[in-house]
Amino acid sequence: MKKTEKAKKIFKILNRIYKKVPIPLNHKNKFELVVAVLLSAQCTDERVNQVTPMLFKKANTSHKMIKVSKNTIYKIIRPCGLAPQKSKAIFELSRILVKKFKGKVPESFEELEKLPGVGHKTASVVMSQGFGHPAFPVDTHIHRLAQRWGLTNGKNVVQTEKDLKNLFPKKSWNKLHLQIIFYGREYCQARSCYGLKCEICKTCNPNRKQPIKTIKS
């Protein structure tokens, strides 16, 4: 089965199961979204959503965040892991936003990716969920699923993002990346499906007999 055929079948299944998808990370403005996505690196969304209310109560804008000490930020976000790096990044990106952008989150990939702790994936989430621009954020979970389903050769997340963008309509990207994440959590988990059990895996690769090994990003 060709990749384009698989993409059509996957698209149909995901739209049937997930007609609407919630935004996983709780936030009330674009600054909160940037911080929440930054915190989600190597951390679950659930844990981030437990930590951010206390952080955002102290500071929910860049102007307020630069008045909070790095040590205070560190103590609050410690349960998210990588706290030394993340607390420094949150403080420094807040300082840059105030100095260069009057406290506002910039509306471009180029400017977002220059911010401390903000890589292409984080910028993609902000552009997609914060500004509504078409983007296809690819994290390790989407990278793994795209390999399982035979949509990419799995060399790296950059190639996976390129392959997925070529296979799916641009207008679907913002919703689709969330649909894939939710499907993976519910039906195609890393240590249960192995590319053999869920509806999408069986639909895309009906003759597969052995568990598929995926290449880490």
| DSSP state for residue 78 in the 8-state scheme | G
Backbone phi, then psi, for 189, in 5-degree steps? Answer: -70, 155
Tokens, residue 5: 């055929």
Q: Please pick, among 28, 67, 99, 121, the residue that the annotation labels catalytic.
A: 121
Residue 50 in contact with residue 79, Cβ under 8 Å? yes
CA dihedral 24, 214, 146, 19 (to 10 degrees): -40
**Stretch (H or E) spanning 77:** helix 70-77
Q: Is 139 annotated as catalytic?
A: yes
Q: Please pick, among 6, 86, 139, 163, the residue that the annotation labels catalytic.
A: 139
Instruction: State the residue for tokens 């079948």.
Output: 9
- Amino acid 41 reads A
Gap between the Cα atoms of 100 and 102, Å rounded: 6
Q: Is 104 annotated as catalytic?
A: no
Computed from CA positions of residues 154, 160, 166, 171, in that sequence, does the dihedral angle turn out positive or negative? positive
Q: Which residues are catalytic?
A: 121, 139
